[in-house]
Amino acid sequence: MSEKNTLTIIDNRTGKQYEIPIQNGAIRAIDLRQIKLSQDDFGLLSYDPGFENTASCKSSITFIDGEKGILRYRGYPIEELAQKSTYLEVAYLLIYGEMPSKAQLQEWIRNITLHTMVHENIKKFMDGFHHDAHPMGMLVGTLGALSTFYPDAKDIFDMQSRTKQIYRLLGKMPTMAALAYRHSLGMPYIYPDNDLSYTENFLNMLFKPSPSTKYDPDPVLSKALDVLFILHADHEQNCSTNAMRSVGSSYADPYSCAAAAAAALYGPLHGGANEAVVRMLKEIGSVDRISEYLEQVHAHKKLLYGFGHRIYKNYDPRARIIKELAYKVFEVTGKNPLLDIALELERIALSDEYFLSRKLYPNVDFYSGLIYQAMGFPASMFTVLFSVARMAGWLAQWQEEILDKEQGIARPRQIYIGPATRSLQ
């Protein structure tokens, strides 16, 4: 193999030859601009709808090998983190790059716990939502509104200010998610209980029958939720993280960035897929109707939600862990009746030419909804749970971008295919 880390391009339109450096397995798109037909020619662009083959940044947070089904946060395999750490430890790892010491973890948890309360006015505009408002719509709106309560968040280049917003967002996400859920049920809000762990407190705010009754979150369920949060914490440059970075690139405050990220996650092709999976399984209704549904998928009339991934062309390692976790949860909650349909659907799809030829495998969303549903969550809350977990990754990626000297405002080019110049009569 040659030592020359360059690409030689011959423009057959002009016969000119160009030498373009290759770094980190990539060429800089801007190096294509020198390839011109004439001096006043703009030069070549790279065209990549959906960013199928475009690196938008350099990042040291998360590594994915889609062919091998590998996922690592700051070098640690997701399987180890799911087994040996907690969500708040992983949040610290994603944001600061190293696992926290015992003292650092205590300080981290104390600071986040101090920020679990929300301003009383947040409850007032939660009440303003319609009784059947989708909790994700409520969360997106509330995240944006938080920027009006913390004007200091605009000081994004001050580390202390960034750290405070990170505490606030990690602390308040479960509270806001629980407010949205309780609003949708017309139940009284439950305040945070700072004596509980992160997921125990979340379950308490969600499921405590009333302010005056005792509620002890099941330890198996709070542990399972903690593992699910670890699995959903980050996933390199996915659609919602791209939104977080893109809005962050204009130096907007982190609450406005998080509102954009949550809005992107809401879509059924992204974080909304967990809700779509359960609705799909309900629509299929029984094991003997799977082949009828798959015929519609083969005809491109329906999607098999929870399958396929832009990066994973193998089994999503998170889906494997979640599938095992489901059995532990079902020991407490009772088996989700939709599980048999999901297992049979997976078994058939994994030997179906349509899916094999396109390398479509179960992704993180295929089984997660079954666990959430068995834990008592309605499908409309599934993506809210995804958002609570992904907040750690969004913040880590947002901060990494702000500190990256190579980054500038996200402003892609286009290929114009509209009308040539014309004038009004």
> Is 44 or 311 the residue whose CB approaches ligand SDX more closely?
311
300 catalytic? Reply is no
270 catalytic? Reply is yes
Cα-Cα end-to-end distance for the chain: 63
Q: How far is CA 390 from the centre of its chain?
A: 5
> Is 155 or 344 the residue whose CB approaches ligand SDX more closely?
344
Q: Which helix (H) or strand (E) holds 6?
A: strand 6-11
Q: Which residues bind ligand SDX (CB under 6 A)?
A: 50, 235, 238, 269-271, 273, 297, 300, 303-311, 358, 360, 363-365
Which residues in 384-412 are b (16+ Cβ under 10 Å) and which e? bbbbbbbbbbbbbbbbbbbeeeebeebee
Rounded to the nearest whole angstrom, what is the least distance from the CB of residue 385 to ligand SDX in the complex?
13
> Is 208 or 232 the residue whose CB approaches ligand SDX more closely?
232
**CA–CA separation, 278 and 342 (whole Å):** 9
Instruction: Identify the active-site residue in 155, 193, 218, 270.
Output: 270
Q: How far is CA 79 from the centre of its chain?
A: 18
As a 3-state breakdown, the chain gives helix, strand, coil percent values, each rounded to 5, of 55, 5, 40
Rounded to the nearest whole angstrom, what is the least distance from the CB of residue 78 to ligand SDX in the complex?
11
Closest by CA to 256, choosing from 348, 147, 95, 392, is: 147
> Is 35 or 303 the residue whose CB approaches ligand SDX more closely?
303
Tokens of 79: 């399987």
**CA–CA separation, 235 and 58 (whole Å):** 14
Strand-pairing partners, residue 70, are 65
Rounded to the nearest whole angstrom, what is the least distance from the CB of residue 349 to ligand SDX in the complex?
9
Half-sphere exposure of 206 (CA within 13 A, CB side): 25
> Is 147 or 397 the residue whose CB approaches ligand SDX more closely?
397
Whether 91 and 392 have beta carbons less than 8 Å apart is answered as yes
**CA–CA separation, 193 and 388 (whole Å):** 17
> Is 196 or 342 the residue whose CB approaches ligand SDX more closely?
342
Rounded to the nearest whole angstrom, what is the least distance from the CB of residue 396 to ligand SDX in the complex?
13
Task: Work out the number of other CB atoms within 10 angstroms of the CB of residue 55.
Answer: 13
**CA–CA separation, 54 and 46 (whole Å):** 9
Query: Which positions are annotated as active-site residues?
Result: 270, 309, 365
